[in-house]
Structure formats: structure tokens, C-alpha cells
Amino acid sequence: MDKRTIVKKFAVYGRNVHPLAVEILKDLDQKNLDNVIAYICKTVDSFVISPEDVMRALKSYKFEEKPKRDVKDVTGKSMCEGTIEDFIAYFKSRFEKVSSFVRRRIGGIKVSALEKFRNEQVEVVGMVKDVRDYGEFAMFDLEDKTGVVSVFAGGKLREVALELFDDVIGVVGIYRNGRIYADRIVFPDIPIRERARRDFGVVFISDTHFGSREFLEREWDLFTRWLSGEIGSGRLLDLAGKVKYVVIAGDIVDGVGIYPKQEEDLLITDIYSQYEYAAEQLEKIPKDIKIYLSVGNHDAIRQAEPQPALPKEMRDLFSSNVVHVGNPAYVNLDGLNVLIYHGRSLDDLITKIPRLSYNRPQEAMIELLKRRHLCPLYGGKTPIAPEREDLLVIDEIPDVLHSGHIHTYGVGFYRGVLVVNSSAWQAQTEFQRKMNLNPTPCNVAIYYNGEVGRLRFCK
Ligand code: FE
Ligand code: ZN
């Protein structure tokens, strides 16, 4: 704020102000400045406001705190244009963020400093490149800002190495003849924590696919009637009354033109009408329940992750208890931190890691936590928008990691964090049948007081 304006603001109250007092005030933002000047003139009697008066007032004045945001996602913040520079900045951000988690667990020397070592143990943190399998052992390159070193992974470590993608990890091993013979591969991972316990219920669902011919309307009605307290008895009915939040992890509608010949699977072929129908169906959930609605690859928003929330014309269709968020999104439910991620990268992980399976989605989700990244594999089926800040890094450790996308139900706890994949509300489509995917729809996960329950609304 310029000094003359500040003098004028005091003049409005009939006061003069000492130049040094102006100096102290000039860095305040507009809103705080106006309030502080009003406060000074109310509490100080003298005609000329001195620097001491200002200091005293600033000490006792209660500054307005910025309201704490309870959603963190890319909505309204996307900056990238997909240039080479964007990609460089994106990978730099990924490296910096994830390597800081690894460095909490091991030390680390720069790759460029390795040449000083001979047959000695070293610890290096870097990004994995180019994993090669030689049968008995595997090799991969580890890159930091100063260079690249190749790593030899024999015995059991070969299997660990073969599951690495563009991960940022640590390697502990002996440096000899220009390469590291790994003894240990260190993931960024998450520390062990207590399970979060809250005295309200949170219901997790996803992949409603409204507009699809295979949408399971009868089962959906059972679910919403249970939430409304119309059906169920005893403990089940009690539980419904405790639900404060419903979290939906994307693929709210089936979309249009998502896969070949999709029109044959559609009941509603217009995208806007699909959202109208979606809004109508969510109306069946009682209004005192807050709904967090994220997006997925079937929704009407850019495909590259991180995805912003739905466009305004779609958002406006929904009632006011629906909060629209992007994918991924951190949401704070009265202190329960939920990280919503639709889960497209789970396809990539399950395809590339043979021990993972579509029938146990929770195991693939645990890999995300271990790697502190929602899409550890770049260049798979999951398109990534190279934002300057990598928002797919798991910066904060959530109480719950919630995904959908693969339409099978699975829950588990990993180091105190609930991982839940909340299946779907769509029966097997012709496309899924051809791909040999067997969904387990109409399963609902409910988290209450540190325990997770499974409710089945299937026939
Ligand atoms: Fe889906
Ligand atoms: Zn999906």
C-alpha cells in the first residue's frame, strides 16, 4: 500500500500520522490495513499517531486468519501447457518432494561424489530409470541432479527392482567399479501411525456410472433408502444415522465416447443429461449428509491427472450439500483426512506387477502409499499433466486413501491408514466381459470409529 493512501486513510478519522508509523503499516494487505487503522483510531486518543501507538495496536489487534481450506486439489490452479520446460519442472518437483521423504530414512551422497569411494558402503537417493532383467539379477539406473549411476540388484532384490518404475528411492550398497551393488532398496514409505477414530460415519462409494445401461438402479435405491433410515434395522439402522459424509471417488457418469462402441452400453447418450440424472440420484441422499464428489476418466473434464473438479455448468446441477473436488483431492472431514484418487494408475500397476490382482485392489493401493506417489509409472495408460508442482505426490499422510476405477471392492489397513476401493454401481459391461474383468458392484465401505464395515446392496 503506498504511503500517501495510508495518510489519507487516517485523515478520514481526523488524524495525522507520523512518517515512521506509516512505514510500519505499509506492508499490510488492504483488508487488514483498513481494519488496523480503524482499530488504532478507536483505541488511541492522540491527534498524531506515533510509531509507538502503531506497535502497541499491532500487538493487541487480532488479525483475521485466512480461513483454513478443507480441500486441496488442482481446481483453478492448473498452469501447465505441456511444454518441455513444464515436464522438466514437473519431474524436478516430483524428485524434490519424494527424495525428501527418502532422506528422512537414509543419508545420501550425490552421484557425482561417488568416485571418491572404493569398495565402500554408500547411500544414494535418486530416480529410477531403465530397469533391465538379466534372469539371475536385475540392473537399473539411479539418477539425481548430478548424474546417473547403475545399480546391480541380485537375489531377492532382483524382484524388488523389477517392480520399480519412475520411483524415487534410496539404495544402500557397495560402490565398486563404477556401480552400486545394492544391499538394500529403501522406499519413501509412510511412518506407522494410529488409526483415526471419529464418532461419525463416512461412506465410501465410487463409479456410479449414471447414464449406463448397466447402472444398478434397484440396488442404488436400496442404498439411498438405507441412508435415509427407511430400511434396515438394529445396528445397521443406527449406523445410517451416524453417517455425516459420503465420498465419491469419480466416474460419476458413464460419459460419452470413452471407449469404442460405448453408445451401445448407454441409456442416456447426452453428457449433460447424464449429469442431470446424476444430480437427481444424489438428491435421494439426505441433505444433512455432505457429499464430496470427485471425478474420474469417464467424467466431462480433462483426462490428464491431476484433474480439476467438474465444469460449472455441470456443478450447478447439484444441490448445495455436494462439494465438487478434483482428482486427486485431499479433503478434511472434521479432522479426518481423506485422500481421494480415482485410481487410473492402478491399471498400470496391476498390469506390470504380476503379484497384484484386480481382485485385491487394496494391495495395489498400498504400493502408492509406499512409493508416496499416486502414479509411480510415467508413460503407462494414465495421462499426466506436467504441472509445476507434482500434485500426485502423497505429501501429507492421509487417514484414508480412497479409490475406485477398477470396480472391485477391497479394503485394508497399511501402517494405520485405511485403504479402500469402493467398487461400482454398474454391472459387468460387454467391454469388461471381453476384457475378462469381473466387477463386484454395490459394495459400500463405511468407516466408523476406526473400524471399517462392508455393506452389500446387491441382489
Ligand atoms: Fe469406473
Ligand atoms: Zn475410471
367-426 pLDDT tens trace: 999 999 999 999 889 999 999 999 999 999 999 999 999 999 999 999 999 999 999 999
Q: Tell me how far the alpha carbon of residue 360 lies from the centroid of ligand 1, in angstroms.
A: 16
- 208 has pLDDT over 70: yes
Q: Tell me how far the alpha carbon of residue 406 lies from the centroid of ligand 2, in angstroms.
A: 7
For 180, the enclosing helix (H) or strand (E) is strand 179-186
Q: Tell me how far the alpha carbon of residue 295 lies from the centroid of ligand 2, in angstroms.
A: 9
Q: Which of 107, 141, 137, 138 is nearest to 124 (CA)?
A: 107
Ligand nearest to the CA of 437: 1
CB 39, CB 15: distance < 8 Å? no
Q: Tell me how far the alpha carbon of residue 209 lies from the centroid of ligand 1, in angstroms.
A: 7
Average pLDDT, the chain: 94
- 66 has pLDDT over 70: no
Four-CA torsion 419, 379, 128, 406, nearest 10 degrees:
20
Please give the DSSP secondary-structure letter assigned to residue 62. -
Q: Tell me how far the alpha carbon of residue 173 lies from the centroid of ligand 2, in angstroms.
A: 40
Residue 21, classed as helix, strand or coil, is helix
Q: Which residues pair with 123 in a beta bridge?
A: 172
Please give the DSSP secondary-structure letter assigned to residue 414. E
Q: Tell me how far the alpha carbon of residue 336 lies from the centroid of ligand 1, in angstroms.
A: 25
Task: Produce one character per residue of 152-190: b if its CB has 16 or more CB atoms within 10 Å, e if not.
Answer: bbeeebbebbbbbbbbbbbbbbbbeeebbbbeebbbbbb
| Phi, psi of 143, rounded to the nearest 5 degrees | -120, 130
Residue 21 has a pLDDT of 92
- 114 has pLDDT over 90: yes
Give the mean pLDDT of 239-252: 98
Query: Band of the pLDDT at 69, cuts 50, 70, 90?
Result: confident
Q: Tell me how far the alpha carbon of residue 405 lies from the centroid of ligand 1, in angstroms.
A: 4
Residue 67 has a pLDDT of 56
Residue 307, classed as helix, strand or coil, is strand
Q: Tell me how far the alpha carbon of residue 101 lies from the centroid of ligand 2, in angstroms.
A: 29
Q: Tell me how far the alpha carbon of residue 16 lies from the centroid of ligand 2, in angstroms.
A: 64
Residue 362 has a pLDDT of 98
Q: Which of 392, 400, 394 is nearest to 420 (CA)?
A: 400
Give the mean pLDDT of 155-177: 97
- 65 has pLDDT over 60: no
- 68 has pLDDT over 70: no
Query: Band of the pLDDT at 162, cuts 50, 70, 90?
Result: very high
d(CA 381, CA 297): 11
Q: Tell me how far the alpha carbon of residue 315 lies from the centroid of ligand 2, in angstroms.
A: 19
Copy the grid coordinates of residue 401.
Answer: 486413501
d(CA 404, CA 299): 13
d(CA 378, CA 375): 7
Q: Tell me how far the alpha carbon of residue 343 lies from the centroid of ligand 2, in angstroms.
A: 7
CB 346, CB 365: distance < 8 Å? yes
Residue 361 has a pLDDT of 97
68: alpha, beta or left? (left if phi > 0; alpha if psi -120 to 50): beta
CATH class, range 201-456: alpha beta
Q: Tell me how far the alpha carbon of residue 96 lies from the centroid of ligand 2, in angstroms.
A: 29
Ligand nearest to the CA of 431: 1
Across 129-133, 164-168, 394-398, 431-435, least confident range: 431-435
Q: Tell me how far the alpha carbon of residue 358 lies from the centroid of ligand 1, in angstroms.
A: 13
**In this structure, CATH architecture of domain 106-186:** Beta Barrel (2.40)
Q: Which amino acid does the sequence have at 391? A: L
Residue 332, classed as helix, strand or coil, is strand
- 30 has pLDDT over 80: no
Q: Tell me how far the alpha carbon of residue 254 lies from the centroid of ligand 1, in angstroms.
A: 8
Above pLDDT 90, what percent of the chain?
A: 83
- 304 has pLDDT over 60: yes
Q: The domain 3-60 is classified under which CATH number: 3.30.930.20, 1.10.3720.10, 1.10.8.60, 3.40.1130.10? A: 1.10.8.60
Ligand nearest to the CA of 346: 2
Q: Tell me how far the alpha carbon of residue 342 lies from the centroid of ligand 2, in angstroms.
A: 7
Query: Band of the pLDDT at 1, cuts 50, 70, 90?
Result: confident
Q: Tell me how far the alpha carbon of residue 123 lies from the centroid of ligand 1, in angstroms.
A: 42
Q: Tell me how far the alpha carbon of residue 57 lies from the centroid of ligand 2, in angstroms.
A: 55
- Mind giving me the DSSP string for 86-152? HHHHHHHHHHHHHHHHHHTTS----GGGGGG-SSEEEEEEEEEEEEEE-SSEEEEEEEETTEEEEEE
Q: Tell me how far the alpha carbon of residue 146 lies from the centroid of ligand 2, in angstroms.
A: 38
Give the mean pLDDT of 226-255: 96
Q: Structure pTM?
A: 0.85
Where along the chain do its domains lie?
3-60, 106-186, 201-456
Q: Tell me how far the alpha carbon of residue 406 lies from the centroid of ligand 1, in angstroms.
A: 6
Give the mean pLDDT of 344-362: 96
Omega of the bond leading into 328 within 30 degrees of 0 (cis): yes
- 45 has pLDDT over 80: yes
Copy the grid coordinates of residue 234.
Answer: 438394529
Give the mean pLDDT of 130-137: 96
Cβ neighbors of 235 (< 8 A, separation 6 or more) are none
- 312 has pLDDT over 80: yes
Ligand nearest to the CA of 408: 1
